Amino acid sequence: MRQQFTSLEAHGFESPTTQSAFSSSISSSSATDRRLKALARHLVDASPVMDSHSQNPNDTVSPSPTSSAFHADSVFAHIVRAPEDPILGVTVAYNKDPSPVKLNLGVGAYRTEEGKPLVLNVVRQAEQQLVNDRSRVKEYLPIVGLAEYNKLSAKLILGADSPAIQENRVTTVQCLSGTGSLRVGGEFLARHYHQLTIYIPLPTWGNHPKVFTLAGLSVKTYRYYDPATRGLDFQGLLEDLGSAPSGAIVLLHACAHNPTGVDPTIQQWEQIRQLMRSKALLPFFDSAYQGFASGSLDADAQPVRMFVADGGECLVAQSYAKNMGLYGERVGALSIVCKSADVASRVESQLKLVIRPMYSSPPIHGASIVATILKDRNLYTEWTIELKAMADRIISMRQQLFDALRARGTPGDWSHIIKQIGMFTFTGLNSEQVAFMTRQYHVYMTSDGRISMAGLSSRTVPHLADAIHAAVTSFA
Looking at 155-281, which runs of residues are DSSP E strands?
A: 170-176, 197-202, 218-223, 225-226, 231-232, 249-253
From 145, 201, 332, 455, residue interacting with ligand KET (rule: CB under 6 A): 332
436 binds ligand KET (CB under 6 A): no
Q: How far is CA 475 from CA 8, 449, 462, 472, in A?
A: 45, 14, 20, 5
Query: 476: closest CA among 435, 439, 407, 429?
Result: 429
Per rule CB under 6 A, is residue 215 in the interface with ligand KET? no
Asked if residue 200 binds ligand KET (CB under 6 A), the reply is no
Alpha-carbon span 331 to 176, nearest angstrom: 5
449 binds ligand KET (CB under 6 A): no
**Residues 6+ positions from 248 with CB-CB distance below 8 Å:** 195, 197, 198, 199, 220, 281, 282
Crossing angle for the helix pair 365-375 and 377-408, to the nearest 10 degrees? 100
Cα–Cα distance for residue pair 164/311, rounded to 1 Å: 8
**Is residue 177 a contact point for ligand KET (CB under 6 A)?**
yes
Nearer to ligand KET, 22 or 212 (CB): 212
Q: Is 300 a catalytic residue?
A: no
Contact between 107 and ligand KET (CB under 6 A)?
Answer: yes
Q: Does 258 bind ligand KET (CB under 6 A)?
A: yes
Q: Examine the residue annotation and report whether 376 is marked as an active-site residue of this protein.
A: no
Per rule CB under 6 A, is residue 250 in the interface with ligand KET?
A: no
DSSP 146: -
Q: Which is the catalytic residue, given 286, 300, 448, 466? A: 286
Size of the residue set binding ligand KET (CB under 6 A): 16
d(CA 401, CA 396): 9
Distance (Å, whole) CA 443 – CA 465: 11
Q: Is 323 in the site for ligand KET (CB under 6 A)?
A: no
Choice between 16 and 323, CB closer to ligand KET: 323
Span interacting with ligand KET, options 66-74, 130-138, 154-162, 174-182, rule CB under 6 A: 174-182
The residue within the footprint of ligand KET, chosen from 5, 13, 110, 205 (CB under 6 A), is: 205
Is 126 near ligand KET (CB under 6 A)? no
Q: Which residue in 26, 36, 87, 158 binds ligand KET (CB under 6 A)?
A: 87
**Residue closer to ligand KET, measured from CB, 22 or 225:** 225
3-class secondary-structure state, position 226: strand
Which residue is catalytic, options 322, 383, 414, 448? 322
Q: Is 159 in the site for ligand KET (CB under 6 A)?
A: no
* Among candidate residues 156, 185, 189, 154, the one with its CA nearest the CA of residue 172: 154
Positive or negative: CA dihedral 97, 103, 109, 114: positive
Asked whether position 290 contacts ligand KET by CB under 6 A, the answer is no
Beta bridge partners of residue 251, listed in sequence order: 284
The yes or no reply on residue 288 touching ligand KET (CB under 6 A) is yes
205 in catalytic set: yes
Which parts of this chain interact with ligand KET (CB under 6 A)? 87, 107-108, 177-179, 205, 207, 253, 258, 286, 288, 319, 321, 327, 332
